[in-house]
């Protein structure tokens, strides 16, 4: 079963007026935790992410808390390497808990939903600042209109282009539709 079908059947694709983690507004929200709450699906996603990085030399898998914890672990399990995560401290993604990236490490960055790519760019900075190299980026879903490129191998398990707006240009706000704020990562 494909990722889009899994998302639709699990109730992960929601319609309404949503504030995204990026601060933008959208009429579609992808609630990844309808998938990530199911261990077998997490394992399947990890396998698919590992398949997308086939043939690429990877030493470590890095994700961003919270969804990235599950994705990095599941993907690393398939690849037979470590899976670590960055988490927000004072609004900034950082490595904690003794996690390390060393010079020369080839890192696979995994992400759940990409709308603007902000979290991935923060992870790219972490990799670079530790002297490691980004081998590839694989995301569960890419919501961007054109597809996103992070300057390295960049893949998405699902392309799900969805319109989003800056709050001051949101037509749903103009219609006074109630704004729904779902889970937040501390950005």
Where in the sequence is the domain holding 54, given as residue range(s)? 3-181
Position 56 in a domain:
yes
pLDDT tens-digit series, residues 41-67:
999 999 999 999 999 999 999 999 988
pLDDT of 182 strictly over 80: no
151 falls within a domain: yes
**SS3 state of residue 33:** helix
Is it the case that residue 187 has pLDDT exceeding 50? no
In a domain, 63, yes or no: yes
Number of domains in the chain: 1
Q: Assess if residue 79 is contained within a domain.
A: yes
Domain-embedded: residue 147: yes
Q: Is the residue at 187 inside a domain?
A: no
- Using left for φ > 0, alpha for ψ between -120 and 50, and beta otherwise, residue 147 falls in left
> Mind listing the pLDDT tens digit for each residue in 128-147?
999 999 999 999 999 888 88
Q: What is the CATH number of the domain that holds 172?
A: 3.40.50.2020
Contacts (Cβ under 8 Å, ≥6 apart) of 175: none
């Amino acid at each position: 079963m494909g990722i889009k079908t899994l998302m639709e059947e699990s109730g992960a694709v929601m319609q309404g007026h949503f504030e995204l983690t990026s601060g933008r507004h959208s009429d579609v929200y992808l609630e990844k935790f309808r998938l990530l709450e199911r261990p077998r699906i997490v394992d399947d996603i990890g396998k698919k992410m590992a398949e997308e990085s086939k043939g690429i030399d990877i030493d470590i898998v890095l994700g961003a808390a919270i969804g990235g914890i599950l994705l990095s672990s599941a993907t690393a399990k398939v690849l037979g390497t470590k899976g670590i995560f960055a988490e927000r401290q004072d609004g900034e993604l950082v490595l904690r808990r003794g996690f390390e990236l060393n010079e020369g490490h080839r890192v696979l960055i995994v992400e759940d939903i990409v709308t603007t790519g902000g979290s991935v760019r923060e992870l790219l900075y972490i990799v670079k600042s530790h002297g490691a190299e980004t081998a590839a980026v694989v995301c569960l879903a890419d919501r961007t209109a054109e597809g996103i490129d992070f300057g390295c191998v960049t893949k998405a398990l699902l392309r799900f282009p969805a319109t989003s707006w800056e709050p001051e240009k949101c037509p749903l706000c103009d219609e006074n539709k109630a704004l729904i704020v779902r889970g937040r990562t501390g950005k």
